[in-house]
Amino acid sequence: MNNILNFQTAIEQANSIVIFSHVNPDGDTLGSMIGLSKLIELNFNKKTTNVIIGKTPDTYAFLPYINECVCNQDMDKSKVYDLAIAVDVAAKDRMSDMQDIYFNAKNTANIDHHITNNNYGNINIVKGFASSGGEVVYEIAKGLNWKINSEIAELLYIAILTDTGGFRFENTSSKVFTYASELIEMGLNPTQIYRQCYESKPKAMALLNAYAIQNAVFRENDKIAYTIITKDDMKNFNAKSDYTEGISETLRQINSTEIAMLLKELPNQMTKVSLRSKKVDVSKIAEVFGGGGHHYAAGCTIQKPPKIAVEKLLELAKKSLNE
Ligand code: 5GP
Ligand code: MN
């Protein structure tokens, strides 16, 4: 309670507020950031600067007020904000080149749901058992008796919906359904939101997903499934960076899969890794490379090209299968 009261006081005292979502933004970080921004506007009559780091994914271009967000490239790095808030940002390096603006602010808040979060803010509202950033923001709003409108409800619902994989992943608690129900009562249309989130994929994204599955490699009696996407693949499919979302989940859908890995080639001989599992704690594997996340969904960047990165990952994955 103390933390959320401190958070409210920080908002009341601030004349300039900036909110950051994480790099490679997903539905949770965007929905929670814009939802929180609109909550602050509605309850404190204050406008916030909402920052998208990298490109706005095509798949979330429908989000209310997304056009009011600014891109990290357009931020003035010398500006000192009264309050900087990070939402759904598991670790400070997930703010990429925005870390200086965040830490130069007079006050910092860290609102998150990743167990690996190390409380990098002054005010930390980190709930490792919450399904999503959206759930944490909604609990703050409820705890402080903030007003909510139907658009804010929609943003928070999208955050919860997408981070629970459409109410399917292990983070789908009874609380999630209670909150979803409360948010639906505020006037949103779940079918319409479902279509926008899950039936509006660009064709190239669906084809890239199919290609990645077709090229998957299976190890350890098919318990480990991985696939590599190169820069050339991305070019060939005319794919934007967010088009790889969902590939590691598709690999996990196979009955034999215990650990699924997507390795995506980055510039400068680096690899972005998405890990998914059914039982194994893959956040431990991600942490070996300075990443993190959740038990069954984690990620990291490895400073090696995919062909080398995969060997190290396989070694760790095999070891964790036997633990
Ligand atoms: P995804 O595979 O969808 O990119 O990420 C899965 C989960 O791991 C998400 O909750 C995400 O926030 C977290 N994650 C992904 N990459 C990183 C990373 O480089 N560092 C940390 N700390 N967490 C990550
Ligand atoms: Mn999240």
Q: What is the pLDDT of residues 142-177, one digit of tens each?
A: 999 999 999 999 999 999 999 999 999 999 999 999
Q: Residue range 80-98: average pLDDT? A: 98
**Which protein residues have a CB closer than 5 Å to ligand 2 (ion)?**
28, 88, 132-133, 163
Q: What is the pLDDT of residue 87?
A: 98
Cα 75 from Cα 79, distance rounded (Å): 9
Cα 222 from Cα 259, distance rounded (Å): 9
Does the beta carbon of 298 sit less than 6 angstroms from any atom of ligand 1? yes
Does the beta carbon of 271 sit less than 6 angstroms from any atom of ligand 1? no
Does the beta carbon of 291 sit less than 6 angstroms from any atom of ligand 1? yes
Q: What is the pLDDT of residue 43?
A: 98
Does the beta carbon of 299 sit less than 6 angstroms from any atom of ligand 1? yes
Which is the closest atom of ligand 1 to the Cα of 300? 19
Q: What are the tens digits of pLDDT across the range 29-77?
A: 999 999 999 999 999 999 999 999 999 998 999 999 999 999 999 999 9
Pocket test for ligand 1, best of 300, 301, 303, 313 (most atoms within 8 A of CB): 300
Q: How far is the CA of 174 from the centre of ligand 1 (A)?
A: 24
